[in-house]
Amino acid sequence: MAAVEQEGAYSNLLLNQVLKQANLTPADTGLATELVYGTIARQKTLDYYLESYVAKGLAKLQPWVRSLLRLSLYQILYLDRVPDHAAVSEAVNIAKRKGHQGISGMVNGVLRNILRNRDKLTIPDSLPAAERIALMHSHPEWLVQRWIEQYGEQEAEAMCRANNEAPPVSVRVNTTMISRNKLIQEMQEEGLVVEPSLLSDDGIIVKSGGNMALTDWYKEGMLSVQDESSMLVAGAVDPKPGMTVLDCCAAPGGKTSHMGEKMEDRGRIIANDIHPHKVELIHRQAERLGLASIETVCHDALDLASNYKEASFDRILLDAPCSGFGVIRRKPDLRWTKSPEDVEAISTLQYELLSRVSKLLKPGGTLVYSTCTTEHAENGGVVERFLKENDQFAPAGHLSLREELRHSAILDEYGIQILPHQFHSDGFYIARLTRVETS
């Protein structure tokens, strides 16, 4: 965690690397994962409580000592499986091994003092809304303030709360191989607790069943691990058998392969990404799922109009690079690494991408613009600007949702915004555009 804070390391990559070397049991691996992600997620709240008990202030501590205190306090406040005395004892032992007697004594004193005053660890209700929510749910105050302005105080707090909850496991059925009902039946016969997704007709929620990527169903290509909101994108594209489809920023290939399944593997999908190693991920995904219709290419999406003829695709998906604020619960450190300037910069790139790839759409075709963020500037703002400056394009109508779900999502003139607390899925924006046919 010190590496994540000090060097900007990605928590998921670093954790996976450490866990591979540690050779832990599945239970210990789960605990270690929860400790790391949970501590990073709750960092602001933990620091607020610790600051009153560290005499010289948290900022003056060595990074590893600061991380050790956060990790230990997280166990005390948020985990039931580790007794308080064990958390303190382990923290003191680590401090002795990595530091010296003075550090271990300080760690012991801070944690035991907190335990004695545990009932005093509260966030004042009298604070301004953005500050209170930011401290209570551990988010940057600037981001909470933006969400309050965009969605209101109640929605903003619900978003922050949802970002600290573990995401459910959801899988997508490869309907070229098996029906959803049949796969659900097989899973239940194997003792898994599953239920059909309410958001996607191709989705299954796995309540208990372990790592789905290690199952025979996964290895044999019958399913893919994918969030429910993400599954909606292929439905919005609505590709038909025999069509020619372009996926501009396709890695790691989940939406690409879903489109291939919806096309019954008949037609042609050009799956592009700028990074060769990510293109290989898409290729391996297509092979695992038995989808021969997917052709992988490696270009900068800004240059795709130079590689293909104008008006040559029936469908285009631009799942644009974005701030990622809709997937904070999966990437807890993301909340601490982004800034308001990042939102502005990425929205400029998104607009440029949309403007360039749109030239490749046939008249009467459908272009879907999607992101996994909650920022209006990156979503409706980009689409609105594009339509104002490109009169040959128009909204193509909203993606189809069940009526009861449609009432919960947020619809603007161009697309649909799903917030992370509404369906316990990732935050996503999906807009459908069409190129107007001229006589």
- Give the residue numbers marked as catalytic: 372
303 appears as a binding residue in the annotation: no
Q: For the range 340-348, what are the long-range contacts, defined as Cβ-Cβ under 8 Å and sequence gap of 24 or more?
A: 340/142, 340/146, 343/375, 343/377, 343/378, 344/377, 346/321, 346/322, 346/378, 347/375, 347/377, 347/378, 347/381, 347/382
Q: Is 434 helix (H, G, I), strand (E, B) or coil?
A: strand
Does 254 appear as a known binding residue?
Answer: yes
CA pseudo-torsion sign 379, 385, 391, 392: negative
Q: CA nearest 427: which of 137, 228, 250?
A: 228
253 is in an annotated binding site: yes
Both tokens of 169, joined, read 């496991």
Q: In terms of Cα–Cα distance, which of 189, 261, 250 is closest to 222?
A: 261
248 among the known binding-site residues? no
Q: Sign (positive/negative) of CA torsion 133, 137, 429, 203?
A: negative
Decide: 335 and 326 in contact? Cβ < 8 Å.
no
* Gap between the Cα atoms of 149 and 169, Å rounded: 31
Q: Is 129 annotated as a binding residue?
A: no
The reply, when asked if residue 273 is annotated as ligand binding, is yes
Q: Say which residue the tokens 């409706």 belong to.
A: 380
Coil, strand or helix at 139: coil
What is the widest separation between alpha-carbon atoms in the chain?
83
Contact 100, 88 (CB under 8 A): no
What whole-number distance in Å separates Cα of residue 134 and Cα of residue 143? 9
319 has binding-site annotation: yes
User: What one-character-per-residue DSSP string does 42-101 give?
Assistant: THHHHHHHHHTT-TT-GGGS-HHHHHHHHHHHHHHHH-SSS-HHHHHHHHHHHHHHHS-H
The answer to whether the annotation marks 242 as part of a ligand binding site is: no
Instruction: At 402, list the tokens.
Output: 């069940």
Q: Is 41 annotated as a binding residue?
A: no
> Which amino acid, 146?
R
Beta strands in 348-396 (DSSP E): 361-371, 393-395
Which residue positions form the known binding site for S-adenosyl-L-methionine?
249-255, 273, 300, 319
Which residue positions form the known binding site?
249-255, 273, 300, 319
